[in-house]
Structure 1
Amino acid sequence: MSFSSELTPTNFQISMDEINQATQNLSRKNVIEVRSNYQIYRGQLSESWGNRTVVIKRRKLKSNETKGELSEALKIATSFHHKYIITFIGYCFEGDELFEVQEYAINKSLGSYLKKLTWSQRLTICISAARGLKYLHDSRVIHGNFSSLAILLDENLEPKITKFSRSVLVSENQNQPHIQIYKSTFLSYWHDRYHVQYEDPIFRESGILRLESDVYSYGLLLFEILSGNSHDETWFIEGYGDTHDLIFFVRQLYENGEVDKLIDRSLNDQIDNHSLQKFLEIAYKCISFNIKDRPTMDEIIKTLVEVLEINQSSKSSGRHGTSGESGFSESFEVAKQDCRFGSTRDFENSVSSSSMETMLQLTGEGEHDILVGVTGITTSVQ
């Protein structure tokens, strides 16, 4: 990506008068989000700015932020032209504060909207967000702050990647797309609690930000959309001691073959087992401690498109459901064991009685039905 001489941050300067008019003098009624280090307002720009509905981020500048760093960040933000990247409209410096203006996404962040989405919607959004991230990587831009809070949803549930305050443009003279972040900047500017949860541990140790650091964060996003819970929340799962962050349980449950405990229960009848396995494989590769094992955004997109297609095909044929860990795949005989099924009907649908004899009894309802006796099952459900 190249920057033309006409496309400089000065072309996007908005006056403080315009900011005040848009927000009714920074009225509390216009505040839609408050964080420890910034506030976000909803506003309406004047006719000279197209009467656009916008969001305005207001934050105090940090003492160690240089004019050059701010100029570079604004230069990056103003240069994106992509369907899945938020449109940057302008900015204003006022005293020790910076106001950044961008298009308004009515459904707010993916993290706040997640529980309302079906599995197919979640996959579609992830694929689109991956395409937006690929555009950045192809442009030699490392996002550096990717999470479900960095994805906004418009009225059509199309994702818009935002939060570019930590993004960096890697020089075309560098063979490897990475950049050294100095320790002082790394410690005082790069950290807030939510961001640390998504932060690549290799970057944390080395201070070297790479494209693969974004891939790590994207992998955590995939597990977040599978679980339906924000990565910022603490979890408790019986048998695993105290509460922990999502990444702890992802690694523990994946290694112990219990990753089904992560799945949002509202999705149990929406996910095909075969597509789930492909989803888990690519997601876990993203968070590998070995950078060379992490996939490119092209590989991620290709795999997730396959996952969505398999899932939609399964839905059409009525084979949905994540009951059980991997489905029944071979003949077996069982005498009294606990099995997990979404419902009694899920189990009955998974067993074909043709050309075999079965004896079974189910007690209870829902996910903790007890399979007391089954013999001669020879079906295969993937």
Structure 2
Amino acid sequence: MGSKHSKETTSINDASNLNHRIPVESSRIPFVALQEATNNFDDKFLIGMGGFGKVYRGVLCDGTRVALKRGNPKSRQGIEEFRTETEMLSQLRHPHLVSWMGYCDESNEMILIYEYMENGNLRSHLYGSDLRLPSMSWEQRLEICIGVARGLHYLHTNGVIHRDVKSTNILLDENFVAKITDFGISKTMHELDQFDTHISTNVKGTMGYLDPEYFRRQEPTGKSDVYSFGVVLCEVLSARPVVTPSLPRDQVHMAEWALKWQKKGQLEHIIDPNLIGKIRPDFLRKFGETMEKCLAGYQVDRPSMGHVVWNLEYALHLQEPVIQDDS
């Protein structure tokens, strides 16, 4: 596995190269081409909303299917996030990162163009309002977790902290391959070394996924992403929102609720009912241990993403006999 990861991390030799780089001119796509691709941004092509703005699907003149994030002038995420995303993704390439295809910055527009992800985001397949989607198999969920872990390991190896790891920022292609998206608030470790983080770095991220030590100290590290990934592991296992204010106090925050049962050795209490009887006890134990380590209160006690990848792949090996029996 070591050689595999070394191949995945060779595209960027120095994380400092990610700073203050202007994407190549060939990545700029004319606004008129994007108007044509979306029938002038018709609402029929609208597939989502985010902090940056609306997201549309479209088809370029050469037949390429794309997703377009069109900046909202009233959004709090503006030129800084646009520049960060273009600089990061124009240089980062990995099978588990959404492929960036270009940008448009003419006519007072800020538009980011990506490969189109057929199956939307992970959250929509776990829970939510779209009841038409079938429940995901445990095998699919495992492969998605491993894919996301590999993508984060690649980022951290190349000195990038995502800072907003969550199930809506994990997209799925037509084969349910997981790809991380939304790098608007990402930082390189090189950038963070250039200034006093206590003064210059505001806490950013999503409530329910935020690393408590990052929240207290306002110092993001790769271990902050590890914590957020631990919350995603809870989501994948339980298929419930990370924060549900209407529930009893001890169940409001899913990560705390999951840790409570994990420490009692009774993690089966939080399992998605659709998965009952489909998870081997030894796998559940290994999965729970990995989740618990990711959610440790102090960053120093959390594993690296490289260790998380290894643990999940080992856990999948434990689960394989059940997956084969089900087939």
Which TM bucket (shorter chain)? 0.7 to 0.9
> Quick one: distance in 2 between partners of 1:61 and 1:204?
28
Cα distance change on mapping 1:96 and 1:58 into 2, 3 Å:
same
> Quick one: distance in 2 between partners of 1:131 and 1:172?
23
Structure 1, unaligned runs of 5 or more? 319-382
For 1:180, the aligned partner's letter is: T
Tell me if the contact between 2:84 and 2:183 (Cα under 8 Å) persists in the aligned partners. no
Cα distance change on mapping 1:33 and 1:73 into 2, 3 Å:
closer
Deviation at 1:178, TM superposition (A): 11
Tell me if the contact between 1:76 and 1:169 (Cα under 8 Å) persists in the aligned partners. no
Deviation at 1:136, TM superposition (A): 0.8
Greater strand share, structure number: 1
Match of 2:88 in 1: 76
Q: How does 1:1-382 map to 2 (within 5 A)?
A: 1=12, 2=14, 3=17, 8-35=23-50, 38-47=53-62, 51-61=63-73, 70-94=82-106, 97-114=109-126, 116-171=135-190, 180=197, 182=199, 186=202, 190=204, 195-234=206-245, 236=247, 240-241=248-249, 244-316=252-324
Cα distance change on mapping 1:107 and 1:64 into 2, 3 Å:
closer
For 2:226, the aligned partner's letter is: V
Cα distance change on mapping 1:119 and 1:257 into 2, 3 Å:
same
> Quick one: distance in 1 between partners of 2:246 and 2:280?
25
Give TM-score, length-normalised by structure 2: 0.83
Structure 2, unaligned runs of 5 or more? 1-11, 127-133
Cα distance change on mapping 1:242 and 1:129 into 2, 3 Å:
closer
For 1:116, the aligned partner's letter is: S
> Quick one: distance in 1 between partners of 2:275 and 2:187?
37
Tell me if the contact between 1:147 and 1:218 (Cα under 8 Å) persists in the aligned partners. yes
For 2:61, the aligned partner's letter is: S
> Quick one: distance in 2 between partners of 1:6 and 1:216?
29
> What is the SS of the residue equivalent to 1:111?
helix
Deviation at 1:44, TM superposition (A): 0.8
For 1:275, the aligned partner's letter is: F
Match of 1:367 in 2: none
Query: Which protein shows a greater Rg?
Result: 1
For 1:216, the aligned partner's letter is: Y
Cα distance change on mapping 1:149 and 1:64 into 2, 3 Å:
closer
CA-atom RMSD, angstroms? 3.0
Cα distance change on mapping 1:235 and 1:65 into 2, 3 Å:
closer
> Quick one: distance in 2 between partners of 1:16 and 1:27?
15
> What is the SS of the residue equivalent to 1:43?
strand
Structure 1 runs of 4+ with >6 Å offset: 4-7, 62-66
Cα distance change on mapping 1:73 and 1:13 into 2, 3 Å:
same
Cα distance change on mapping 1:181 and 1:64 into 2, 3 Å:
farther
Tell me if the contact between 2:250 and 2:257 (Cα under 8 Å) persists in the aligned partners. no
The percent of aligned pairs where both chains have the same amino acid is 30
For 1:285, the aligned partner's letter is: K
Greater helix share, structure number: 2
Tell me if the contact between 2:53 and 2:75 (Cα under 8 Å) persists in the aligned partners. no
Deviation at 1:104, TM superposition (A): 0.4
Cα distance change on mapping 1:244 and 1:68 into 2, 3 Å:
closer
For 2:197, the aligned partner's letter is: Q
> Quick one: distance in 2 between partners of 1:253 and 1:6?
47
> Quick one: distance in 1 between partners of 2:226 and 2:119?
25
